[in-house]
Amino acid sequence: MEAILQGLLDLAGVGAAIVFDATGQMVDFRGRAIYDRPLCEQVSGTLNKAVDTVRLQQEEWESITAQFADGRLLLQNLAAPGARGHVLAVVADSTLNASFATVAIRVATQKLRKAIAGGTLEPSASGSGTSAPAGSQTPAGSRPPGSGSQPGYDSRTLASTGTTWSKSSSSSVGLSRVASANPASAAFLARCAKQLARHVGPIAKVYVEEAVRRVSPDAPFALASAKSLVEDLAAQIEDPADRTEFMKALEKP
């Protein structure tokens, strides 16, 4: 795999080529000196969150491209359609020849898919920056805190169920797909979304809708299910202190 990633790194404008798995753990990388292993591991976790989010809209995604003022990020899905799996990420500056790079990345993607199908893609600590000092390397499994997916967050489940759930009634809480038994229940859901958003951001509304579906699948949400809902939502918060704070804020429905 290193040879494939090195081939991408040899393209003019490419600064790093990274492969990470479905949990956001970096499997291997090749990068210029400024893109060292700790940085690429951190970015892998962040990009995995982005991939999980795209899957909420489009489970069978093939590629994601991000254009920045000073460069590009190109992500390719290395998994079979509809499955979660490895992702190739290419970091490039503004000198990248996009047309040429697209072909090269496509070829590399095919090779990496074959390597994965053949079982030859194993987590490795051997990947490195082209001139990074050896001391900068850390074990492949040591992601920085907060860089990976949140525990309990299975985006496949979310993607396969959340965006198509149609059992709905309108509410005034910004959770239009959630059926609630009464105004008090709707108000509690709004509080949940607001409190959760403090810890996970705007995706909180989607989490709340999914959680309601899990704790109250056959009936409109009622306050009787409030405790189960809060516990379910708390599992989306990675930091224990934040989790406790969230649960405390919602103790009194």
Q: Which residues of this protein are in contact with other proteins, per CB under 8 A?
A: 15-16, 34-35, 39, 42-43, 46-47, 49-50, 53-54, 56-58, 60-73, 81, 91, 93, 162-163, 174-177, 197, 201-206, 209
Q: Nearest distance from residue 195's CB to other proteins, in Å? A: 15
Q: Nearer to other proteins by C-beta: 61 or 221?
A: 61
Q: Nearer to other proteins by C-beta: 21 or 209?
A: 209
Cα separation of 54 and 49, whole Å? 9
Q: Nearest distance from residue 39's CB to other proteins, in Å? A: 6
Q: Nearer to other proteins by C-beta: 151 or 248?
A: 151
Q: Nearest distance from residue 54's CB to other proteins, in Å? A: 5
Q: Nearer to other proteins by C-beta: 60 or 231?
A: 60
Q: Nearest distance from residue 113's CB to other proteins, in Å? A: 15
